[in-house]
């Protein structure tokens, strides 16, 4: 029975170059026992089949945790074992590795019972003080419904050996797709266009020709399996045969392997004398294609740069690449090669602001399987990979007076799929890291809730909240001693890093994500949403946020009553930014928590800036410090003040003793007597030289001073109003000695 079903499915899939999904549902041992018969019936060689799970059958095996190692590979069949747990991210990573004519096989518990079972993935959602029994089964209920309602999915009850659905769609046969023709006018070799498998690839290859001229950037976006890396390889080879030095970077060389394979194959046709090398191809015209890791890319080190799988590279590095006057970026839209949506969320704005002329192209035609493949259609719905916010037209008239504040519990979202898609789509597009696992977390995690503003029933602003804290003494002690406690990000940081064991006893609401529709930003809707949340949750000690700090975001949180208590010393691997932690206290206990950490942050930030944060953007430092609610005393002696005043008004030197200068700079940035006392440029100089302690020459270059001497004079001038405002009698006497007219 299984063999006949598998044979029919594969025959149909091969005929139309699609894939099919087979669900083997039942006891684990029965599911595993059914796999060989299924593969034999489909006549699929074991060498082309991979098992994802923990049982280790006689197949190539990887765990769900290592599912990402399959990216970039293709298989006749992938068997995904969900009995131990269903990690949505792991499933999403392997779906695209099944080739046209192949099978995705899902091993699952009985489908009627599955939503009520708890597994290893549920353990990640059961954050303290909640237990596994507090996790709901909404996501798997949604998932099972998608399995039972989409075409191309066979379901077999292996306990009773009964076929619930055969998965056959009886699609009409498709004719062979015509090979794309080269455009009438083209710069690249005809052979490069002949190597394209789809019209999309030919169009993208033509777009790459824009990089023949300086000042050009090309952006290629596509879902997985569209051949974007392959066409980038054809473009690289075409430039290399012209003698160009093409630098290629990607998160790791494996990510760029397809690019190099296609480039090498094309060079064998058009330049038989080209020589391969270790991650380098060299043409007879002295052109090269060479790989360099992302962090090692140097400005001007090649004629042009191609960044493959850009979504997996931190935004600050991507921004550094804009110094190349010819650069291309390929990126996955709904796939898993990337670490998130940093490219589309944050980097595209920076690219648009650059001096480069941008050519953006999107690829839609699949290469590994036919368009409309039912497994891809199912996966996009089941994991909400194609979720999108409402169209601009539906929300353009939204204003604070037209919107409704609503709690959106999982039951309400599952009962209204368009609403669920709008909520999740807005979170995806507005944040650099939103994954399918976040969908499960949104629907099932007991500490997570959703609040939104709706205009005419459509989502215009949404927040994902996490209730944190309320931890027992043993959990707090283990956290203090270095244990990681899931789902309690702010208590974790303040306890493990800042050594405050009492934090976890309090209860807070952390804003995990907040997003406002791009068509209605700057109308106060995000702030209105936060205000409504603050008013609703009156049973907490604090509200908090931890996010990749940018000047704009720091200002947003500050306007809404949040104060800085921490700035991470390392960059977030996904956003490439340093994370700020800000609190808005509610109860007296929350105020005490906030005040002690704000005060400590204000005291230590100067030392951190001269060490671990020596390269952070001065504008971020200015905003973060200004958003700190702390009072600082200037405990400087007469000698200190005479030194500072002498450098500001006379021949004194900063380098003799930078300490007093740094103390005054910290005071002004955190606790200013007058926030407008200095210009923005002067405050940047206080940060760059006064606190980050960079050499004079580098400070001058970073801030645009023609020479280090002018930078030194500018720093002295910046300290004059500080001496006037904060200085003691000793400081003013020293000032008056050199500038009698400057008496206060």
Q: Tell me: the pLDDT tens digits for 652-702? A: 999 999 999 999 999 999 999 999 999 999 999 999 999 999 999 999 999
* Strand bridging mode 326-332 / 304-307: parallel
| The predicted structure's pLDDT at residue 520 | 92
Q: How far apart are the first and last CA of the chain?
A: 97
Omega within 30 of 0 (cis) for the link into 511: no
| The predicted structure's pLDDT at residue 173 | 72
* 507 vs 541: CA distance, rounded Å: 5
Q: What is the CATH number of the domain that holds 592?
A: 3.40.630.30
Residue of higher predicted confidence among 257 and 560? 560
pLDDT interval class at 611 (50, 70, 90)? very high
| The predicted structure's pLDDT at residue 192 | 95
664 located within any domain: yes
Residues 245 and 282 placed together within one structural domain of the fold: yes
pLDDT at residue 281 tops 90: yes
| The predicted structure's pLDDT at residue 694 | 94
Give the C-alpha distances (Å, rounded to integers) separating 70 from 78, 236, 739: 10, 25, 72
Q: Tell me: the pLDDT tens digits for 293-303? A: 988 898 888 99
Nearest CA among 155, 118, 159 for reference residue 140: 118
* 687 vs 681: CA distance, rounded Å: 10
Question: What's the whole-number mean pLDDT along residues 413-433?
Answer: 87
- pTM, whole model, 2 decimals? 0.85
Residues 352 and 208 placed together within one structural domain of the fold: yes
Structure tokens at 373: 């493949």
Domain count, the chain: 4
334 located within any domain: yes
Least confident of 46-50, 105-109, 224-228, 448-452: 224-228
578-585, strands of its sheet edge to edge: 404-407, 448-455, 458-469, 507-516, 542-548, 578-585, 563-571
Rg (CA), the chain: 30
| The predicted structure's pLDDT at residue 72 | 66
* 569 vs 571: CA distance, rounded Å: 7
| The predicted structure's pLDDT at residue 574 | 55
* 242 vs 289: CA distance, rounded Å: 12
Residues 441 and 564 placed together within one structural domain of the fold: yes
Residues 407 and 522 placed together within one structural domain of the fold: yes
Nearest CA among 400, 406, 391 for reference residue 523: 400
DSSP-based three-state secondary structure for 419:
helix
- What is residue 56's DSSP assignment? -
Residues 155 and 206 placed together within one structural domain of the fold: no
Question: What's the whole-number mean pLDDT along residues 515-544?
Answer: 95
Nearest CA among 388, 406, 407 for reference residue 518: 388
Q: What is the DSSP string of 357-392?
A: EEEEEEE---SSS-TT-HHHHHHHHHTTTT--PPPH
Question: What's the whole-number mean pLDDT along residues 345-362?
Answer: 85
Residues 353 and 215 placed together within one structural domain of the fold: yes
pLDDT interval class at 343 (50, 70, 90)? low
Least confident of 24-33, 480-489, 636-645: 480-489
pLDDT at residue 743 tops 60: no
Kindly report the average pLDDT of the chain as a whole number: 91
How many helices (H) and strands (E) are present in the chain, helices listed first?
Answer: 29, 22
Percent of the chain at pLDDT > 70 equals 96
The residues with which 426 forms a beta bridge, in sequence order, are: none
Residues 141 and 84 placed together within one structural domain of the fold: yes
Domain interval for residue 158: 2-166
Q: Tell me: the pLDDT tens digits for 562-590? A: 999 999 998 775 566 899 999 999 999 99
Q: What is the CATH number of the domain that holds 237?
A: 3.40.50.300
377 located within any domain: no
pLDDT interval class at 347 (50, 70, 90)? confident
pLDDT at residue 86 tops 90: yes
| The predicted structure's pLDDT at residue 206 | 96
Residues 151 and 275 placed together within one structural domain of the fold: no
Structure tokens at 514: 């907040």
| The predicted structure's pLDDT at residue 176 | 61
182 located within any domain: no
Residues 34 and 96 placed together within one structural domain of the fold: yes
| The predicted structure's pLDDT at residue 340 | 43
565 located within any domain: yes
386 located within any domain: no
pLDDT at residue 245 tops 90: yes
350 located within any domain: yes
Question: What's the whole-number mean pLDDT along residues 400-420?
Answer: 96
pLDDT interval class at 377 (50, 70, 90)? very high
Return phi, psi of residue 540, to 5°. -120, 165
Question: What's the whole-number mean pLDDT along residues 436-461?
Answer: 96
215 located within any domain: yes
pLDDT interval class at 318 (50, 70, 90)? confident
Alpha helices in 493-587 (DSSP H): 525-536, 551-559
Residues 97 and 234 placed together within one structural domain of the fold: no
Where is the domain boundary, 314, 344, 363?
A: 363
pLDDT at residue 335 tops 60: no
Question: What's the whole-number mean pLDDT along residues 412-434?
Answer: 87
Q: Tell me: the pLDDT tens digits for 496-528? A: 999 999 999 999 999 999 999 989 988 999 999
Question: What's the whole-number mean pLDDT along residues 98-111?
Answer: 96
Q: What is the CATH number of the domain that holds 46?
A: 3.40.50.11040
Q: Is the CB of residue 120 less than 8 Å from the CB of residue 94?
A: no
pLDDT interval class at 345 (50, 70, 90)? low
* Strand bridging mode 98-108 / 75-81: parallel
Residues 398 and 357 placed together within one structural domain of the fold: no
| The predicted structure's pLDDT at residue 277 | 78
| The predicted structure's pLDDT at residue 69 | 78
Residues 162 and 100 placed together within one structural domain of the fold: yes
pLDDT at residue 428 tops 90: no
């Amino acid at each position: 029975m299984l063999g006949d079903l598998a044979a029919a499915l594969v025959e149909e899939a091969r005929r139309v170059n699609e894939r099919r999904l087979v669900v083997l549902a039942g006891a684990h041992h029965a599911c595993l026992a059914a796999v060989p018969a299924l593969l034999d019936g489909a006549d699929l060689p074991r060498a082309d089949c991979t098992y994802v799970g923990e049982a280790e059958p006689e197949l190539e095996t990887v765990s769900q945790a290592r599912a990402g190692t399959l990216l970039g590979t293709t298989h006749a069949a992938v068997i995904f074992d969900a009995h131990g747990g269903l990690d949505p991210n792991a499933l999403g990573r392997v779906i695209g590795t099944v080739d046209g004519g192949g099978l995705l096989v899902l091993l699952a518990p009985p489908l009627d019972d599955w939503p009520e079972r708890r597994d290893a993935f549920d353990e990640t959602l059961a954050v303290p003080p909640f237990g596994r029994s507090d996790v709901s089964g909404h996501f798997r209920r949604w998932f099972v419904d998608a399995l039972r309602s989409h075409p191309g999915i066979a379901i077999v009850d292996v306990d009773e050996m009964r076929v619930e659905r055969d998965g056959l769609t009886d699609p009409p046969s498709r004719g062979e797709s015509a090979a794309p023709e080269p455009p009438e006018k083209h710069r690249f070799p005809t052979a490069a266009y002949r190597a394209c498998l789809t019209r999309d690839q030919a169009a993208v290859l033509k777009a790459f020709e824009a990089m023949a001229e300086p000042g050009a950037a090309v952006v290629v976006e596509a879902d997985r399996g569209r051949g974007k890396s392959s066409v980038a390889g054809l473009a690289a080879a075409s430039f290399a045969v012209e003698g160009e030095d093409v630098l290629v970077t990607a998160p790791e060389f494996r990510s760029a392997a397809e690019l190099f394979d296609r480039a090498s194959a094309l060079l064998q046709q058009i330049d038989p004398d080209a020589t391969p090398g270790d991650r380098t191809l060299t043409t007879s015209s002295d052109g090269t294609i060479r790989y360099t890791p992302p962090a090692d890319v140097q400005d001007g080190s090649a004629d042009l740069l191609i960044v493959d799988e850009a979504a997996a590279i931190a935004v600050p590095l991507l921004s550094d690449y804009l110094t190349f006057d010819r650069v291309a970026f390929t990126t996955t839209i709904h796939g898993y090669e990337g670490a998130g949506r940093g490219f589309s969320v944050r980097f595209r704005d920076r690219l648009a602001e650059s001096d480069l002329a941008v050519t953006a192209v999107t690829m839609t035609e699949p290469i590994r399987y036919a368009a409309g493949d039912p497994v891809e259609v199912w996966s996009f719905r089941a994991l909400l990979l194609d979720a999108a916010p409402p169209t601009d037209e539906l929300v353009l008239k939204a204003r604070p007076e037209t919107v409704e504040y609503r709690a959106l519990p999982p039951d309400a979202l599952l009962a209204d799929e368009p609403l669920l898609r709008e909520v999740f789509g807005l979170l995806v597009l507005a944040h650099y890291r939103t994954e399918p696992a976040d969908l499960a977390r949104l629907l099932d995690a007991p500490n997570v809730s959703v609040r939104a503003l709706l205009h005419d029933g459509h989502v215009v602003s949404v927040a994902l909240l996490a209730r944190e804290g309320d931890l027992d003494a043993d959990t707090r002690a283990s956290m203090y001693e270095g244990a990681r406690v899931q789902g309690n990000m702010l208590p974790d940081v303040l306890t493990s890093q800042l050594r405050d064991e009492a934090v976890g006893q309090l209860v807070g609401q952390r804003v995990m994500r907040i997003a406002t529709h791009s068509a209605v930003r700057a109308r106060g809707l995000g702030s209105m949403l936060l205000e409504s949340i603050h008013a609703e949750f009156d049973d907490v000690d604090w509200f908090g946020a931890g996010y990749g700090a940018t000047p704009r975001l720091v200002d947003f949180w500050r306007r809404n009553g949040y104060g800085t208590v921490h700035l991470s010393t390392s960059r977030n691997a996904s956003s490439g930014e340093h994370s700020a932690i800000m609190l808005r206290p509610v109860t007296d206990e929350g105020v005490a928590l906030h005040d002690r950490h704000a005060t400590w942050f204000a005291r230590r930030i100067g030392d951190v800036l001269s060490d671990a944060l020596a390269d952070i953007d001065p504008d971020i430092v200015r905003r973060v410090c200004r958003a700190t609610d702390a009072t600082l005393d200037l405990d400087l002696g007469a000698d200190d003040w005479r030194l500072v005043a002498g450098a500001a008004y006379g021949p004194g030197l900063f380098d003799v003793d930078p300490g007093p200068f740094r103390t005054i700079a910290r005071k002004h940035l955190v606790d200013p007597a007058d926030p407008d006392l200095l210009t923005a440029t002067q405050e940047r100089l206080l940060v760059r030289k006064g606190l980050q302690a960079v050499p004079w020459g580098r400070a001058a270059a970073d801030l645009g001073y023609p020479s280090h001497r002018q930078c030194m004079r500018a720093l002295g001038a910046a300290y004059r109003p500080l001496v006037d405002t904060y200085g003691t009698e000793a400081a003013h006497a020293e000032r008056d000695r050199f500038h009698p007219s400057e008496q206060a």
